[in-house]
Every structure is written in C-alpha cells, then in structure tokens.
Structure 1
Amino acid sequence: MRLFVDAPLVAGADLALPPGASRHAQVRRVQPGDALLLFDGGGCDWPAEVLAMGRSEVRVRVGEPHAVHTELPLAVTLALAMPANERMDSLVEQATQLGVARLQPLLAERSVLRLAGERAERKRAHWQAVAEAACEQCGRARIPVIAPVRTLADWLAGLKDEPPATRLLLSLAAGAAPLPRLIPQAPAAGGSLCTLSGPEGGLAPDEEAAARAAGFVAVGLGPRVLRAETAPLAVLAWLALHHTEGS
C-alpha cells in the first residue's frame, strides 16, 4: 500500500501517520509487521513497517528512501476555465496521472462554474486532495500544485512577473499551428510549458486577444471539437507518450 504523508519524512523515524493516511491503512486492515510505502511529495518513496495499530493511530518506522523517476521532462501548467459539475474532479485526477506539475483554475467570461471566496478555497483544497490520491495510485512522488481560483484577466496580468515559458493557447481558430510543430518531440529537461484552454463555450474573442498579447501562441488539436476537460488532457497525453518513447 502506498500512502501520502503531508510532512517531511526522515529515515529511521518512528511516527504516527496523519489522520487521512491512518484511516486508509485501517480500512485496508494492515497489521503490525506489514510493509507500507510512503511519500511526502519530495520525489522519493520511503519504505515503512507498521509498528502498532490503534483506534485512531497507526505508528510506523520509516526506512531509507529511494528516488522515483516518473515526472515529465518539462514542468507543465494547465491553466483552464473550470468545466462544470464533477468534470473538474476527473480532469485533476487524469492530469495528475499524466504528469501535470500545476493546475490553474480560471474564471472566464463564458464559464459555467463560478467560484469565489470561501467556496473557491474549499474546492481548491478538495482538488488538491484528489491530486494527492491520484499520486498514491499512479506512482508519482511529486504532488501537482492546485493554485487558487483566479479570473482569467487577473491571471494574464500577473504573467509578466513569471519566468519565461512556452505558452500555448488551445484554439479552434483557423491557422492554429499543430501541436507537434510547437513542442519538440523530445522536450528539453528543465523546461516549462503553459497551456491555456477555455470553458464549455470557449474563450471570448477579447480573451483570446488578451492571451495572444501575453505571449500565447494558438495551437490546434485536430479537426474534432474536444470538450473543455478533454483538450488539456490531450496535450498531456501527447507529452507523456513522447516522453515514454524517448526514455
């Protein structure tokens, strides 16, 4: 069983698992002497042995870490106008499995899901937990960051202070370049990529213009119209495939 521990792990330490990990272990009925695999988001897996099981506490002894090499060769940020209903949950889960480094939920002019204030923060925390659970399942040892919800205009204005990155606008506009033309087949390690995609109704013309002014280049994903939650995943899948082929 592989569990995320939201605290730095230390080899040789005896510790009580945090509540979420303890509940998971109890549901799976682990026993003293059983082996676990822990990770804290720092890029390593840590073998551990269960020492004791209590009603509300599971104590373990942590072993020596080993590095996990499952990340994409470049850090990918998906900035997207949030899809409605439960589709965002699914997108976060699948994007995590495919290797996203950061997700930036946005409010656009045509957004159906509109979040602000405390409700937006509750959703962000929920999506962060979805990403953590997806990492437990898929073997990643680094947790994607789910950024606070922002308006598209506010986020674009703040990009001038961000480090340089390849910026792609997922677009149906005529003349949008094919994805392989804008991303090398073997992306350079340590680079970064940011994709921007719209809500169910797409970005408004003035929003697309603002994105282009911020350095985004329009890219097409083929002749079919993809759902709002499908288009950014298609980019990640393409990157993950070529990373696998080149590894």
Structure 2
Amino acid sequence: MRIPRIYHPETLIAHSEIALCEDAANHVGRVLRMQPGQAVQLFDGSNQVFEASITQVDKKSVRVSLGEGVLSDNESPLNLHLGQVISRGDKMEFTIQKSIELGANTITPLFSERCGVKLDGERLEKKLQQWQKIAIAACEQCGRNRIPEIRPAMQLEAWCAEQDDSLKLNLHPRASHSINTLPLPVKHVRLLIGPEGGLSADEIAMTSGYGFTDILLGPRVLRTETTALTAITALQVRFGDLG
C-alpha cells in the first residue's frame, strides 16, 4: 500500500505528537481505515515532509508521531497564475485539480459576460472552500508540498487590471502568436482562460488594453477545461519543468 500523504494546516515540529485536523482524521480513520503503527507522510506547506506513524485512532480523532522534517521542493521554476472563468458542473473542479497537478501556483475564479454560472453570497463561499479542499487533495496526490491559493472570485476586468510583472496571455483562436514563439526567459505568467462560449469581442479588446498577448494553441477548438490544461502543459514545457 502506498503511504498516504496528508496536509496539516499548522506548522509541524519534528519529533512531536499531534492530532490530525478533522478532514485528515476522517480520511485516515474512516476512509482508509488505518490503524496504530501504520505509516503516513505529513506536510504543512513549508516544502518539508515528515515521515510519521499513527499512534492512536478513535471515532473522532487520529494522532500521529512525527519524525525528522526533510526539505522536498517539487515546485516548477515557472510561477503560473491561472485566471479561469467559472465553468459549469464539475468542469471547474476538474480544471482546478489538474492545473495544480501541472504546477499552477494561484487560481482566480472569474465572472465574465458569457459565464454560465451564477454564484454569490453563501453559495459562492462554500464553492471557494470546496475548491481549496480540491487543491489540497491534488497536492497530496501529486507530491507538491506547497498549497496553491484559490483566490476569491472576481470580475474579469478587475483581474486583468491587476498590476504585476507577469507575462499576460489570453487564448484566442485567431491569434498570430503561439507559446513556442514567446521570447525566453519567462518566470511569471498570468494565463486567462475564458468561458465555454468564449470571451466577447469587447472583453478581448479590454484584455489587450491591459497588456495581454493573444496566443494560439492550435487549429482545433478546445473545451474550456481542455484549453486550460493544454496551455499550462505547453507553458511548463517551454518555461517550466516538464519534458
């Protein structure tokens, strides 16, 4: 059996004994049905991993004993901020999960003119919490030891207007540039992925006004969730640590 990787939201201290958080305890105790003496691996977002042994399991809690912390840096040299217009159903969850596996550092859910999802207030807050849990689970699975941030949802133009030194990219089916023609080196990218119906003409013009470069992935029309993963993969091959 593969040793489970578990995220702990508080700072871990070598050679201490701790209680796992509620979500982790439920997963270890009820889902995996692990018992005292079995091994787990913990990380706290500091790029360290700790080998640990379960010392106690009961209905509501799991306690573990930690070993020494070991630095384990699996982060890409490319810092990638994905701005994803919220998609329907489980497509958004899929995009978040796979984008993090591919190395995205930050994800901001966006609202645009053609966004088909209506979320606000408590429903939106619950979605954000759910998406952050998906980010944590993706890191536990793929071996990343830093947890990417799922930012609060915002309007498309407000996100585009944010100022930083990133290369700003927007996917467009009639663009004249491809990822392979972008100049080297690049360390920071803001990648905009539109909704299932695409960005409107006014929105595309707006992104250009904020310094976004239109790029083309290829001759075929991709679904929004496929577009995000294809673009991130191509960017990681070109500027990051894939391939």
Maintained 8 Å contact 2:105/2:149:
yes
State the partner residue of 2:92. Answer: 88
For the residues of structure 1 that align with 2:158 and 2:212, how far apart are their CA atoms?
Answer: 15
Structure 1, unaligned runs of 5 or more: none
The one-letter code matched in structure 2 to 1:7 is E
Offset at residue 239 of structure 1 (A): 3.3
Please, what TM-score do these two structures have when normalized by structure 1? Answer: 0.91
Offset at residue 183 of structure 1 (A): 5.5
Does residue 11 of structure 2 align to residue 13 of structure 1? no
The one-letter code matched in structure 1 to 2:11 is P
State the partner residue of 1:225. Answer: 221
Maintained 8 Å contact 1:169/1:218:
yes
For the residues of structure 1 that align with 2:82 and 2:225, how far apart are their CA atoms?
Answer: 11
Structure 2, unaligned runs of 5 or more: none
Offset at residue 142 of structure 1 (A): 1.0
State the partner residue of 2:176. Answer: 176
Offset at residue 150 of structure 1 (A): 0.6
For the residues of structure 1 that align with 2:213 and 2:135, how far apart are their CA atoms?
Answer: 28
State the secondary structure of the residue aligned to 1:80: strand
**1:102-159 CA distances to partner (integer Å, 9 max, x unpaired)?**
11110000111122222111111101101111111111111111111111122223x1
For the residues of structure 2 that align with 1:80 and 1:3, how far apart are their CA atoms?
Answer: 27
For the residues of structure 2 that align with 1:238 and 1:225, how far apart are their CA atoms?
Answer: 16
State the partner residue of 2:121. Answer: 117
Does residue 45 of structure 2 align to residue 41 of structure 1? yes
Of 66, 81, 93, the match for 1:77 = 81
Does residue 195 of structure 2 align to residue 199 of structure 1? yes
Maintained 8 Å contact 1:171/1:197:
no
State the partner residue of 1:244. Answer: 242
For the residues of structure 1 that align with 2:11 and 2:235, how far apart are their CA atoms?
Answer: 30
Change (3 A) 1:211 1:110: same
Structure 1: 4+ residue segments shifted above 6 A = none
Does residue 63 of structure 2 align to residue 62 of structure 1? no
For the residues of structure 2 that align with 1:4 and 1:165, how far apart are their CA atoms?
Answer: 29
Offset at residue 42 of structure 1 (A): 1.7
**1:83-105 CA distances to partner (integer Å, 9 max, x unpaired)?**
11110011111111111101111
For the residues of structure 2 that align with 1:176 and 1:85, how far apart are their CA atoms?
Answer: 32
State the secondary structure of the residue aligned to 1:229: helix
Maintained 8 Å contact 1:2/1:37:
yes
State the partner residue of 1:234. Answer: 230
State the partner residue of 1:165. Answer: 166
State the secondary structure of the residue aligned to 2:225: coil
For the residues of structure 1 that align with 2:228 and 2:176, how far apart are their CA atoms?
Answer: 15
State the secondary structure of the residue aligned to 1:83: coil
State the secondary structure of the residue aligned to 1:118: helix
Please, what TM-score do these two structures have when normalized by structure 2? Answer: 0.93
For the residues of structure 1 that align with 2:108 and 2:118, how far apart are their CA atoms?
Answer: 14
For the residues of structure 2 that align with 1:244 and 1:106, how far apart are their CA atoms?
Answer: 27
For the residues of structure 1 that align with 2:109 and 2:206, how far apart are their CA atoms?
Answer: 17
Change (3 A) 1:23 1:75: same
Offset at residue 69 of structure 1 (A): 2.5
**1:185-241 CA distances to partner (integer Å, 9 max, x unpaired)?**
xx55xx211111210111111111111111100000001111111112112112344
Change (3 A) 1:196 1:88: same
Maintained 8 Å contact 1:39/1:141:
yes
- Report the count of equivalent residues: 237
Maintained 8 Å contact 2:233/2:242:
no
